[in-house]
Amino acid sequence: MKTITVYNFDTAGFYTGSSDADESPMEPGVFLMPANSTTEKPPQAPAGKRARWNGGVWKLTAVRLDDRQVALVKLQDFLNNNPDVAAIVAGN
Taking only the tens place, the pLDDT of each residue in 36-81 is 999 999 999 998 899 999 999 999 998 876 777 777 878 888 888 8
Q: Hey, which residues does 21 pair with through a beta bridge?
A: 4
Q: Are 38 and 7 in contact (CB under 8 A)?
A: yes
Burial degree of 42 (CB within 10 A; 0-12, 13-18, 19+): buried
The pLDDT value recorded for residue 26 is 95
The pLDDT value recorded for residue 56 is 96
**Higher pLDDT residue, 90 or 38?**
38
Q: Is the pLDDT of residue 33 over 90?
A: yes
The pLDDT value recorded for residue 48 is 83
